[in-house]
Structure 1
């Protein structure tokens, strides 16, 4: 099998670099085999010929697809850059820095970078690029890693005075982890083996230097690590105040390939809400699903819900969806009542089993909530924020080890973001997801 990096031409390398970044920054799962996605309005298709735990995926030819999903042309870097730029702007709010009149665009950066033979908006340092290109076998890769940890990483850790995020980017994700990914993609070494060696070296650093070991201990135990985004994020800009083209990256979280995994997460509790609220799991009965499925399907097809949930499905599909949730361990779909009347739909879930687990440093007991007020006459009366306060309090009471209840409403859904805020959820970050940018909202347990 030929890997993407073996295909001739810098155009494919540049297109692949942009695609890798977009997939990482939108937390899109990647597995070997066919990959189909739409960036902006451009449908793309390729084969993932190397799936990397560090994000250094390799691709076959990247093609533009027609309406029938058939390839019609090779996607060049300029097209992918334009698609990413348009999609990133649309994902962000109109007044975000990326949408400022003087912010520039990813296309500006590409036109600036091509004459300089650059294709990665946040490239590794020249010496690390040389390592990734010159190391020729696994033994040499292990020797380089040992020397890097002892001679470069350890002194930097011991002398570090900045914050964890900056240290992680400068010393880890844009350093040895990126090199390991490149060596894996080249077929020089198995990423898992070299990551295991790095994990052992870092464990030794933490043990030998307990005063400074907190930093590497964090790297070993956190489910996510900080990296830099250059394609997607409301805070991005591609022009400095002087007008010079340069990328102003923004931090974001990526899954930690050094993490050995958390303890199994418990099931999802159904809390008691009180204050006139009722909450019960959806009941699925009969071939059509029964009255609960019909109610959820009606709400999801209502215009005010469909615009944000994008799940205006037929009854049969909702029956399958709800039955699947009830039969699994990920989430519990529930009907919410107020003063004896059914008014809305909730999905309660453990973050560790959700796509959100890729986006922030979660705890096994973190719980999440999706909310839809289904009845139109219950909108705009404070029902949503009152319900969210009751749900957050009820979940924390139901699981005494849970410290956080979280949610991820679309940044464009100002009403939902506002309702979470009024309910006591704080906005912690913006996160990229495959089909939207979300506000990460967190309700913390009080001391």
Structure 2
């Protein structure tokens, strides 16, 4: 796993690469070999930065990239203070910066930074989908937007040294791999969805047609390793067992490739999956899951990512643990890098 103390480059989802030359009190940033800006840095008692020299780039982009570097460089850093001569209007309007208590000072809060959809969402929407109540399956819930197609999320995990991305399932492309994963003894013991290619084609086609469930493939460095189902909890079978919010999202998780198991990999993909769901609609206040109550390993992994077990309950087919992660809790000590 990379040593972040030696971090000198950070890949961006659009293909560019952020480079840095850092000392105790200076930071010089460049992008794709072109100088971006130079900063004076004061780290005691808290992180303060000021621009010494800026090249010709949009101000908000310069500020954004510098914040990304500083937060990725130090996952314990919860905020930083900018000293700026000019009012950063665009950055203030977007929430990247907030006005400080002293004139000319502006704060970037980690909890706000990671809620900005750019550049992690491949298909980010400027506005939330309009809220309109409908009834389906006897349940009243908001009308859901059309489901996306293709890649929806991409981020370079500086701690892992790899890209983590999410894309929607392509049945023709992913069927054989999904069938292999579901028929492995380890996965089948929890999912209980063993079957033929035709059975699994029908399974995926049914979910593709279901507006409340989004099927996703997780990739490390563009190599598929996992299958996820993200669902709107309000119209799911889970809803009767807790007070589901209109925009709560639930997750089912399956890691199919053995080489991508383990706590450090779970920390990467589970944080990416929950990050995507919180960004996908800012009205989503909770991400929930209902693993089998005896799946101690998965429950432990989820607790390591700040989920808590609200209770145990009985589905017709299993005893389940209701795992819950609130939006505020996820972002307040967000360890994304």
Residues 152 and 168, structure 2, Cα contact 8 Å, conserved in 1: no
Residues 248 and 287, structure 2, Cα contact 8 Å, conserved in 1: yes
TM-score, length of structure 1 as denominator length? 0.39
Residues 267 and 350, structure 1, Cα contact 8 Å, conserved in 2: no
- Which structure shows the bigger proportion of residues in helix conformation? 1
Q: Following the alignment from structure 2 to structure 1, what is the Cα–Cα distance between the partners of residues 288 and 154?
A: 17
Return the match for 1:310 from 160, 184, 192. Answer: 192
Residues 215 and 227, structure 2, Cα contact 8 Å, conserved in 1: yes
Q: SS where residue 272 of structure 1 aligns?
A: strand
Return the match for 1:397 from 279, 301, 307. Answer: 279
Aligned to 2:242: 360
Higher gyration radius (CA): 1
Residues 139 and 235, structure 2, Cα contact 8 Å, conserved in 1: no
- Shift in Å, 1:442: 0.8
Q: How many matched pairs?
A: 184
Q: Following the alignment from structure 2 to structure 1, what is the Cα–Cα distance between the partners of residues 319 and 147?
A: 26
CA 1:260–1:331 in 2, change beyond 3 Å: closer, same or farther? closer
- Shift in Å, 1:330: 2.1
Q: Following the alignment from structure 1 to structure 2, what is the Cα–Cα distance between the partners of residues 264 and 278?
A: 27
Return the match for 2:169 from 266, 282, 286. Answer: 282
Q: SS where residue 355 of structure 1 aligns?
A: coil
CA 1:437–1:271 in 2, change beyond 3 Å: closer, same or farther? farther
Residues 153 and 167, structure 2, Cα contact 8 Å, conserved in 1: no
Q: Following the alignment from structure 2 to structure 1, what is the Cα–Cα distance between the partners of residues 278 and 142?
A: 19
**Superimposed CA distance per residue, residues 40-93 of structure 1 (whole angstroms, 9 cap, x where no aligned partner):** xxxxxxxxxxxxxxxxxxxxxxxxxxxxxxxxxxxxxxxxxxxxxxxxxxxxxx
Residues 405 and 444, structure 1, Cα contact 8 Å, conserved in 2: yes
- Shift in Å, 1:380: 2.1
Aligned to 1:127: none
Q: Following the alignment from structure 2 to structure 1, what is the Cα–Cα distance between the partners of residues 184 and 275?
A: 29
- Shift in Å, 1:395: 0.9
| Superposed CA RMSD | 2.1
CA 1:291–1:412 in 2, change beyond 3 Å: closer, same or farther? same
Q: Following the alignment from structure 1 to structure 2, what is the Cα–Cα distance between the partners of residues 405 and 291?
A: 28
Aligned to 1:437: 319
Q: Following the alignment from structure 2 to structure 1, what is the Cα–Cα distance between the partners of residues 209 and 141?
A: 23
Aligned to 1:272: 153
Aligned to 1:341: 223
Residues 164 and 219, structure 2, Cα contact 8 Å, conserved in 1: yes
> Hey, which bits of structure 1, 4+ residues long, moved more than 3 A?
259-271
- Shift in Å, 1:263: 4.1
Residues 336 and 343, structure 1, Cα contact 8 Å, conserved in 2: yes
Residues 389 and 424, structure 1, Cα contact 8 Å, conserved in 2: no
CA 1:355–1:397 in 2, change beyond 3 Å: closer, same or farther? same
Q: Following the alignment from structure 1 to structure 2, what is the Cα–Cα distance between the partners of residues 399 and 305?
A: 30
> In the alignment, is residue 413 of structure 1 matched against residue 300 of structure 2?
no
Q: SS where residue 280 of structure 1 aligns?
A: strand
- Which structure shows the bigger proportion of residues in strand conformation? 2
Aligned to 1:176: none
- Shift in Å, 1:382: 2.4
Residues 426 and 441, structure 1, Cα contact 8 Å, conserved in 2: yes
Q: Following the alignment from structure 1 to structure 2, what is the Cα–Cα distance between the partners of residues 283 and 308?
A: 24
Q: Following the alignment from structure 1 to structure 2, what is the Cα–Cα distance between the partners of residues 280 and 410?
A: 26
Residues 233 and 250, structure 2, Cα contact 8 Å, conserved in 1: yes
- Shift in Å, 1:352: 1.4
Q: SS where residue 383 of structure 1 aligns?
A: helix
Return the match for 2:266 from 375, 384, 392. Answer: 384
Residues 266 and 365, structure 1, Cα contact 8 Å, conserved in 2: no
Q: Which runs of 5+ in 1 are unaligned?
A: 1-258, 285-289
Q: Following the alignment from structure 2 to structure 1, what is the Cα–Cα distance between the partners of residues 190 and 282?
A: 32
Residues 268 and 348, structure 1, Cα contact 8 Å, conserved in 2: no
- Shift in Å, 1:281: 1.0
Q: Which runs of 5+ in 2 are unaligned?
A: 1-137, 158-162, 333-337
Q: Following the alignment from structure 2 to structure 1, what is the Cα–Cα distance between the partners of residues 139 and 280?
A: 28
CA 1:358–1:273 in 2, change beyond 3 Å: closer, same or farther? farther
